[in-house]
Amino acid sequence: MGTPEFAVPSLKTLAEAHQVVGVITAPDKPAGRGKKILKSAVKEVAEELGLHVLQPTNLKNPEFLKELESLEADLFVVLAFRMLPESVWSMPARGTINLHASLLPDYRGAAPINRAIMNGESKTGLTTFFIEKEIDTGMIIDQVEMLIGAEEDAGMLHDRMMDKGAELLLSTVNKIEKKEVKPIPQKPAGELKQAPKIFKEDCEIDWSHSTAEVHHHIRGLSPYPTAWTIAAGVDFPEQSFKIYQSRIAEFKIAGQHGSILLTDELRLFVKCDDGALEIIELQVPGKKRMKTTDFLRGFRSPIDFRFHK
């Protein structure tokens, strides 16, 4: 059971080693200006592999539950999918397992990859566990730690976890098949770090924070959903800039938080609480993502031009 690209390597890996009797994914939906009907990444691969695909809109629908039961699956495998009702996850004899992109019990929730980087973590990991009533709280089957690169963003970590997760899932399924699993309960040590869903307002940059905090914020939201800030100046209409990549500078600049320093080398620095941050990649309204050097070619900085919250 899965929908986005993150679930694709796991589906391929499991289909090579085990009999996948069915794939459950999100319904096709219109996208783009032309409202072209798009299939999920998982559905496209499932069809290429000749697998039986189900796309329920309601997971509690009696007809769907009857068809699901008729597949006689020993085990359900879930990743990057919606929350399951008990009538689904309790169905198979061997249980239902989930792959989560964190070292549970920390970073339970919808955005573990983003939140770990936003919080400046140097390591994270992947966890397989049995699904129970409360989300992301089930008995842990296996875990693997992964270091987070100092300049790694959420997209880079996502791609590494996508492949590593397929390896961990296959190992877990093999252990379940051989009845070698010894699940352990989740035991929080102190206050748990959470990974709630990210909304647009969570992505706004607060330049009054430290350079490290702002840098982690940008990395953790790149390339999606993307950190953003408001740019304004004299005779410059207030508008939103997306910031994709930054670098901590080795010097400080004067002015208010969000003040900008432009150099002759076409570099852009922004004042934070304890220093300055260089903006490497950004996007302005109506344009594509670009290097800051390309943006600054021909750009005349308005008076009192700065970023602010």
The CA R_g of the chain, rounded to the nearest whole Å, is 23
| CA-based nearest residue to 109, from 84, 136, 143 | 136
HEC string for 83-110: CCCHHHHCCCCCCEEEEECCCCCCCECC
CA distances from 143 to 125, 135, 189, 281 (A): 7, 17, 16, 34
Going by C-alpha positions, the residue among 82, 36, 80, 72 that lies closest to residue 52 is 72
As a whole number of angstroms, the longest Cα–Cα distance in the chain is 70
Is-contact 122 148, C-beta < 8 A? yes
Query: Which tokens belong to 198?
Result: 């990210």
The length of the chain, given as a count of residues: 309
**221 among the known binding-site residues?**
no
Q: Please count the CA atoms within 13 angstroms of the CA of 301 that sit on its side-chain side.
A: 16
Q: Quickly count: other Cβ atoms within 10 Å of residue 145's Cβ.
A: 9
- 65 assigned ligand-binding residue: no
Does residue 102 have a known ligand-binding role? yes
The whole-angstrom separation of Cα 91 and Cα 66 is 11
Transcribe 19-80 into DSSP letters: ----EE-PPPEEETTTTEEE--HHHHHHHHTT--EE--S-TT-HHHHHHHHHT--S-EEESS
Would you list which residues are annotated within the binding site? 102-105
Annotated binding-site ranges for (6S)-5,6,7,8-tetrahydrofolate: 102-105
